[in-house]
A and B are shown apart, each in its own frame.
Chain A
Amino acid sequence: MKPLEVMEDSAMAVASDSDIVLARNQGRVVALRLGFRPTDATLIATAISELARNILLYAGSGEIAIRPLERGKQVGLAVVARDSGPGIADPARAMEDGYSTSGRLGLGLPGVRRLMDEFEIHTAAGQGTTVTVKKWIP
């Protein structure tokens, strides 16, 4: 495994649907390099896919940053999805299964929460949205 300090933060612009594929591929590469099992790397890649699509769908553009985490002896990975879009007026509802303002499945954000270990959302109407999710190597 590569030492964490040589792995740089990688922030990627999300502005088209091919960026969704690039971001999730990058997430998988970083996760595997940190020592995540392939199964967990798939969970992380799927979560990034959902977060990147939300950026495109609701804000038009934004960025995804993937960075390694250390907590004592534990190693993990953080994904920060940030946009300056319209924000979410009712974040509590956005976390409910089946709730969607876009006519889609409404499993995006609640699904991401289930895929990852930690989930944080900062948003308000007109203020953009930042979602931070973390997963730790068990």
Chain B
Amino acid sequence: MQVPILKQGPYLIATIQSALTDADIVQLRDALVEQVGRYRSRGVIIDVTALDVMDSFATGTLRDVAHMVRLRGAETVIVGIQPDVAFAMVHMGLTLEGVTTRLDLEEGLDHLNRNIKSAAYR
């Protein structure tokens, strides 16, 4: 199932709506990395609220997205990791180190608004 990507001003918002296969996650990664360039986006939010499992593949691929998007000049925030999912990730040893996470979409947008605004006045 494809993940819809919404362009909202300088941001791309990808809201995962159901369980994803590995191929779906790879497709999401490639679409985001491409669209950051096409729309000259400054920030990307990936909402994983609907994911009931984040295993090593999902975590590794989302980490790759964040790093690839950064290399393209934009910032990624992952939002909505559920408590049980966080618990399982910690047990597995999956940390998403170096990737910004926020509680939910609102906090994610707030983070981007602060960061990108302050960068504009630097």
Contact = CB atoms under 8 A, between A and B. Distances in A.
Contacts of A24: 53
A114 B56 CA distance: 13
B46 to A, nearest CB: 18
Interface size on B, as a range, is: 20 to 34
A104 B52 CA distance: 22
Contact of B22 (A20, A25, A107, A114): A20
Given A18-B21, A25-B19, A111 B93 contact: yes
Contacts of B84: 38-39, 42
Interface string B77-93: 00000011101100111
B23 interface: yes
A39 B87 CA distance: 8
Interface in A22-59: 24-25, 28, 38-39, 42-43, 45-46, 49-50, 53
A43 B19 contact: no
Contacts of B73: none
B52 A111 contact: no
Interface of A: 17-18, 20-21, 24-25, 28, 38-39, 42-43, 45-46, 49-50, 53, 97, 104-105, 107-108, 110-111, 114-115
